[in-house]
Amino acid sequence: MQAVNVRLIQITLLAVILGGWQLGVTTGVIDRFFFPAPLDIVQQVVTWVIDPGFYKHVGITLSETVLGYLIGTGLGVAAGVWLGLSPFTARILDPFIKAINAIPRVVLAPIFVLWLGLGLWSKVALAVTLVFFVTFFNAMQGVREVNPVVLSNTRILGARRSDLLRHVYFPAAASWILSSLRTSVGFAVVGAIIGEYLGASAGLGYLIARAEGNFDAVGVFAGIIILAVFVLIIDLLLDVAEKRLITWRPKAGEERPA
Amino acid sequence: MSIAAAKIEAVPQPGLPPMVTIDDVTMAFGSFVAVENVNLTVGNGEFLSIVGPTGCGKSTILNAIAGLLKPAKGQVSIDGAQVKSVQNNIGYLFQQDALLPWKTAFQNVELGLMFRGVPVEERRVKVMAWLEKVGLKGFEGRFPHQLSGGQRKRVQMAQALITEPKVILMDEPFSALDIHTRHLMQNELLRLWQEDRRAVVMITHDLEEAIALGDRVVVLAAGPRSRVIESFGVDLERPRNVSEIKLDPKFMTLYRDIWASLRGEVEKSYASR
Ligand SMILES: Nc1ncnc2c1ncn2[C@@H]1O[C@H](COP(=O)(O)OP(=O)(O)OP(=O)(O)O)[C@@H](O)[C@H]1O
Ligand SMILES: [Mg+2]
């Protein structure tokens, strides 16, 4: 009952906002150059969605996101596990890592374009620099917080170093990485979009940048809505992935109170 | 009282070749000396119980045998070979939970065999047999968080014993269990041990358990600088039933003697706070 009421209020609120906006634009109170009519935006979205050529852009942004995520995570896990296991190296590299992590990634975009061209890879590189650090810190934390008793037990059972990596350290790191899955995929999307926005010939970010270049506010707003939906769909997929991947952990509501 | 008390040579029952030898071992953490000049020998097939006040260094001694800690002085050897690094021919039942949380009961028990390169099929058969032995048939697919405390302990027991280790170390293995489960598992342990006698070193807070299970009970002094103060042979017949043996008059005499020795140390450990 409560839930239905909440939904009802939410829908009414949305209708009031959008209706008011549409009304404002038609009566001329709101300048449609800056705030185009919701109906025009919807029309633009529909035009794109039924155009097969549009999916090329979606496909490109998606590839950049996925590649950026996979490469960034791979490198982050490798580096995180390595430094987690060698505190000495970690101490030496610490200031460098902090310095690099402090660089706002946006300023790297032109450099990547210079190195890797306007194509896919400069965007992937940008996404990687964002994803890497999230995964890196989580993997390092995961390795450092492995229960020492569990570790001793596994060694006594006969584990060599490679066995420890495979059965103890990587799974320990993985659980932390999975818990940051959402953040890092979010970063991968941001990296891809910003890269496209700053210089590309395809992709959702490019669509928005192009509309902006033409002072086409309808296109910009439509692009933003498409992006939001894109991220929401990825989020839904992650929900499913998370449930499948961490089977060994108590699910929410199923964990022991003690 | 001065330390003029004779150096206690805790030797195994006659007739058993030594399996674990602790030779004049001193264990220290920085400048803190936990145990000093400990001499202890565990015979092959002997069940040794160690009791002592809390914090006296029982776990520390066990860790030295396992090779997890290095003695500051003296040496430990297992079956004639000096312990220099982490041993993997032993089974260690830790006081704490030591299962890998991301592996099922089956996969946890399988670990030791897998690290030894035993083929998959052989592994499966053995793991299933061991899970049945510890009463966990049907629980193969459960993750540790889906098992009760006692069930986790039993998985740990199967995990430690499946590799047929030469020496079994147990650190208060049953202290977290309720009395009924404890009796059940103590009898279970005795049955498993009876099948195939190994050297066992068991730490416990529970003097009854120490006597009921052990061939010998060793008492450690209050720490720091703890040492072995006395060693009692337990000449009760085997096989034993843990809940019945407590009514045996020999058991009660032993209990009184060992408690007389232990009580002073427990009181000292409280007085020194
Ligand atoms: N890593 C360590 N650093 C410093 N001191 C330690 C360390 N580990 C143990 N100790 C000290 O060594 C002594 C012996 O510890 P140990 O864990 O062996 O006791 P224990 O006999 O097993 O006690 P309990 O019965 O309570 O488990 C204690 O005084 C403890 O404080
Ligand atoms: Mg202890």
ipTM of this complex: 0.88
Contact (CB, 8 A) for A234 and A166: no
- Which pLDDT does position A255 carry in this prediction? 63
Q: Supply the residue whose CA is at minimum distance from atom 28 of ligand 1.
A: B55
Query: Residues B254-260: contacts with CB within 8 Å, 24+ apart?
Result: B254/B211, B254/B217, B255/B207, B255/B208, B255/B211, B257/B232, B258/B51, B258/B207, B258/B210, B258/B211, B258/B217, B258/B219, B258/B230, B258/B232, B259/B207
Residue that wins the pLDDT comparison between A255 and A186 = A186
For residue A90 the two structure tokens come to 């970690």
Q: Pull the structure tokens for residue B40.
A: 């202890």
Is A239 within 8 Å of chain B by CB?
A: no
**Which one of B142, B164, B186 terminates a domain?**
B164
- B179 and B83 in a single domain? The answer is yes
Residues B78, B120: one domain? no
Last residue of a domain, one of B144, B164, B184: B164
Nearest CA, atom 12, ligand 1: B34
Q: Which pLDDT tens digit goes with each residue over B131-153?
A: 998 889 999 999 999 998 889 98
The band of B12, judged by pLDDT with boundaries at 50, 70 and 90, is low
Last residue of a domain, one of B164, B195, B214: B164
Ligand 1 pocket mutation, candidates B56, B69, B169, criterion most atoms within 8 A of CB: B56
Atom of ligand 1 nearest to the CA of B60: 18
Q: Which of residues 101-140 of B touch A (CB under 8 A)?
A: 101-104, 111-112, 115-116
- The whole-chain average pLDDT of chain A stands at 88
Per-residue model confidence (pLDDT) at position A252: 61
Task: Check whether residue B64 and residue B113 sit in a common domain.
Answer: no
Q: Specify the pTM.
A: 0.80
- CA–CA distance from B38 to each of B50, B91, B231 (Å)? 13, 22, 12
Chain A residues with CB under 8 Å of B86 CB are 152, 155-156
Residue A178: pLDDT over 70: yes
Q: State whether B200 and B228 are in the same domain.
A: yes
Question: Average pLDDT in the B70-93 region?
Answer: 92
Q: Are residues B136 and B192 in the same domain?
A: no
* Residue carrying the six token digits 């490019």: A206
Give the CA count within 13 Å in the CB-facing half-sphere of B164: 5
Q: In Å, what is the CA distance from A227 to each residue of A18, A183, A211?
A: 19, 16, 14
Give the pLDDT score at B170: 95
**What are the pLDDT digits (tens) for A138-156?**
889 889 889 999 999 999 9
Whole-number pLDDT of residue B68: 94
Indicate if B45 and B120 belong to the same structural domain: no
Q: For the segment B225-256, what is each residue's pLDDT rounded down to a tens digit? A: 999 999 999 988 888 888 889 899 999 999 99
Rounded to a whole number, what is the distance in Å from the CA of B100 to chain A's nearest CA?
7
Kindly report the length of chain A: 258
Structural domains in chain B (count): 2
User: Which phi and psi angles does B226 have, rounded to 5°?
Assistant: -70, 155
Nearest by CB to residue A157, choosing from B97, B112, B146, is B112
pLDDT tier at B175, thresholds 50, 70, 90: confident
B251 touches chain A (CB under 8 A): no
What residue's CA is closest to ligand 1, atom 18? B57
- B110 & B219 share domain: no
Same domain, B40 and B51: yes
What is the pLDDT at residue B242?
Answer: 87
Structure tokens at A135: 């995964």
Same domain, B231 and B104: no
**Helix axes of A54-85 and A181-198: crossing angle, nearest 10 degrees:** 130
B34 Cβ below 6 A of ligand 1: yes
* Mean pLDDT confidence for B8-32: 81
Q: Cα separations (Å) of B186 from B94, B191, B273?
A: 16, 9, 33
Q: Pick from A153, A171, A255: which is nearest to B102 by CB?
A: A171
Q: Are strands B216-220 and B228-233 parallel, antiparallel or unpaired?
A: antiparallel
**CATH number of the domain residue B174 falls in:** 3.40.50.300
Mean pLDDT taken over chain B: 89
Residue A121 has pLDDT above 60, yes or no: yes
Structure tokens at A67: 């590649």
Note the pLDDT of residue B184: 84
In the sheet that holds B90-93, the strands lie side by side as B90-93, B167-171, B199-203, B47-51, B216-220, B228-233
Residues B71 and B172 in one domain: yes
Q: Which of residues 190-209 of B touch A (CB under 8 A)?
A: none
pLDDT on residue B3: 41
**What is the pLDDT, as a whole number, of residue B6?**
41
Domain hosting B110: range is 98-164
Measured between beta carbons, which residues in chain B are less than 8 angstroms from residue A147?
A: 98
Q: What is the pLDDT of residue B1?
A: 38
What H or E segment, with its residue span, contains residue B38? Answer: strand B32-43
**In this predicted structure, what is the pLDDT of residue A71?**
95
Residues with Cβ within 8 Å of B266's Cβ and at least 6 positions away in sequence, in order, are B53, B222
Nearest Cα residue in chain B from A164 = B115
